[in-house]
Chains A and B, each alone.
Chain A
Amino acid sequence: MTLLRVESLQKSFGSLNVTRDVTLDVGAGEKHVIIGPNGAGKTSLINQIGGQMTPDGGRVMIDGSDVTRLAPEQRARLGLARTFQKNTLFQRLSVFENVRLGVQARFGNSFDLAQRAAARTDVNARARDVLDLLRLTALAERRVASISYGDQRQLEIAVALAGDPRILLLDEPTSGLSPVETRQLIEIIRALPSHLGILMIEHDMEVVFSLADRITVLYYGEVLASDKPDVVAANERVRDVYLGASF
């Protein structure tokens, strides 16, 4: 079943076409990985799916309905969550509070002025569960600014997962991580709920091929190939322009 569909998406900055007629699908339970050299337009694509950037043409659809004109918060309410390439966290709040806000967005009531937030045991309990899932429990009370970069990368995912999304967009979750941290994070991604549709940008080919159900190769804003890993690996053009050295 297709959860997320991107159809003939177009975007340009002046003469620079960052997204050229991009079409792709993400189904429930699928791990779809986008690869492509720096500047290929991967982040721009994620931004257009998330609603942070408006496309010039084409459509973004969630569950078959058009969300191209919806604001990021409206898309989030339809079950779309994302992380950012550059950490986008609540720096001065604790790790727990970061996740709790993510939970509150979906399960709490942000216009409740009377009840103490601490009294919403359901919200707090879910926040603690998410911290457990991401193995961040030990850091719960630490301020974000005081934890390591690797832990912050993990927290990015925790915050996105907090609202129990159906579609998760991950923009280079392993960037800047050590090999050990990368391996840990991959384990975590592998252990995510199986119904989740994941669209993920990744550079490390080992990671890509160990995780992906499907791979899309972006090159200068264009889809070069979009298929099962072995098919993509065998694709002549992909080998020429991108994978070359890795195989």
Chain B
Amino acid sequence: MGEFVFFLLALAWPFLAGSYGTGLITEALIFAIAAMSLDLLMGYSGLVSFGHAAFFGVGAYALALSGMKLGLNPWLGILVAVMTSALAALIIGYFCVRVSGVAFIMLTLAFAQLLYSAAVKWRGITGGSDGIGGFDRPQIAGLSLNDPIYMYFACLLGFVLSLWLLRRIINSQFGHALVGLRENETRMRALGFSTDRLKLCAFVLSGAFAGFAGALYAIYNSFISPDALSFAQSGMFLLMVVLGGVGSLLGPAIGAAIFLLMKQFVSSHTEHWLAIVGIIFVCCVMFFRSGVYGFLKQWLERGART
């Protein structure tokens, strides 16, 4: 029921909200995909990646470069972006899953930082800190994503598809195994699960979805810069997940939307957006650990009881 209402609202949105509101929600949908992909790692597998922007950024650059350097059709570019991010996740994950705790945090952070500096320094390919822009947006049957309304619907489709796929993954035996990993790795190994392979698979899947989001982001902005790979960007993804509610999939999507709306609102009133982000982060961790989703769920359950 709730999802049906959401769906109707989503379909009508561009006609209700005007171009500004449409752009905002388009961006929210893109970041929601990225946040959900991080939640697959963080919330379901217990792998808290501090460098998730790496996969997002790789997807974005892959889309931009496949169009500009290889002359690929941008639809194909999306596919290339997803595959490149999955490959990046495979390589990075291969190292990361071998360690746990601090070393894991450090490795994910360090790999992301490595890609960030590569994007800044290899000016010839990436345009350095100026970034690259002006690449083609995909079009099909005369409908071009240059039109914000089509862009919105493309992202809505991407979001719904991602949500559906991620839900399937989580409800599969693989998803259950990931949850087991999050809860107790020692036991999982004693039961005979290949925990490293499970983690690596989770990494690759998560990276692929993040890369998909990155590709949509590059298309949406028709521009990409190393910021998409930055420490701060990884932090924003983490915040979206924590704010929305770790391990609830839809929660992080809501977190992404709230985050962007708040950003719009706050940025137009003050320059201290970053401090606000930090303070929300701190408050979420200290007092609001189950996030918006957890809060809503509790509230609805309490309502149902009385």
Contacts and interface: CB of A to CB of B under 8 A. Distances in A.
Interface of A: 50-52, 71-74, 76-77, 81-82, 84, 88-93, 97, 100-102, 104-106, 108-118, 120, 123, 159-160, 162-163
Given A71-B189, A105-B192, A90 B171 contact: no
Interface in B168-187: 168-169, 171-177, 179-180, 183-184, 186-187
B176 A101 contact: yes
Contact of B183 (A92, A110, A118): A92
Contacts, number: 104
A90 B44 CA distance: 13
Interface size class of B (residues with CB under 8 A): 20 to 34
Contact of A112 (B172, B179, B184): B172
Contacts of B186: 52, 84, 88
Contacts of A120: 173
Contacts of B184: 88-91
B194 interface: yes
B192 A76 contact: yes
B172 A116 contact: yes
B193 interface: yes
B173 A117 contact: yes
Interface in B183-228: 183-184, 186-195, 197-198, 201, 205
A175 B287 CA distance: 37
A113 B172 contact: yes
A111 B188 CA distance: 14
A22 to B, nearest CB: 21
A93 B190 contact: no
Main secondary structure of the interface of B (DSSP, over half): helix
Given A90-B180, A100-B176, A110-B176, 8 more contacts: A51-B189, A76-B190, A84-B186, A88-B187, A112-B172, A113-B172, A117-B173, A159-B187
A106 B190 contact: no
B189 A116 contact: no
A96 to B, nearest CB: 11
Contacts of A82: 190
Contacts of B189: 51, 71-73, 76
B192 A115 contact: no
A106 B176 CA distance: 14
A126 to B, nearest CB: 14
18 contacts: A50-B190, A72-B190, A73-B192, A76-B191, A81-B191, A88-B190, A101-B191, A110-B176, A111-B174, A111-B198, A111-B201, A112-B174, A114-B168, A115-B173, A117-B171, A117-B175, A117-B176, A163-B192
A240 B125 CA distance: 79
B176 A73 contact: no
Contacts of B191: 73, 76, 81, 101-102, 105, 159, 162-163
Closest 8 CB pairs of A and B: A76-B192, A90-B183, A105-B191, A110-B177, A72-B189, A105-B192, A117-B173, A88-B187
B168 A110 contact: no
Given A52-B190, A72-B190, A81-B190, A93 B172 contact: no
B183 A91 contact: yes
A96 B180 CA distance: 13
Nearest to A156: B187
Given A82-B190, A88-B187, A163-B192, A110 B198 contact: yes
B190 A110 contact: no
Nearest to A77: B192
Given A88-B187, A110-B198, A118 B192 contact: no
B193 A105 contact: yes
A88 to B, nearest CB: 5
Contacts of B187: 84, 88-90, 159
A113 B168 contact: yes
A110 B191 CA distance: 12
A122 to B, nearest CB: 12
A114 B180 CA distance: 18
Contacts of B174: 110-113
Contacts of A102: 191
Contacts of B172: 112-117
Most chain A CB neighbours (cut-off 10 Å) among B186, B191, B197: B191
A106 B191 CA distance: 8
Nearest to B194: A73
A82 to B, nearest CB: 6
B245 to A, nearest CB: 14
Contacts of B177: 101, 104, 110
A76 B173 CA distance: 19
B193 A110 contact: yes
B180 A108 contact: no
Contacts of A73: 188-195
B190 A112 contact: no
B183 A93 contact: yes
A18 to B, nearest CB: 19
Nearest to B191: A105
B222 to A, nearest CB: 33
A113 B169 CA distance: 5
A106 B171 contact: no
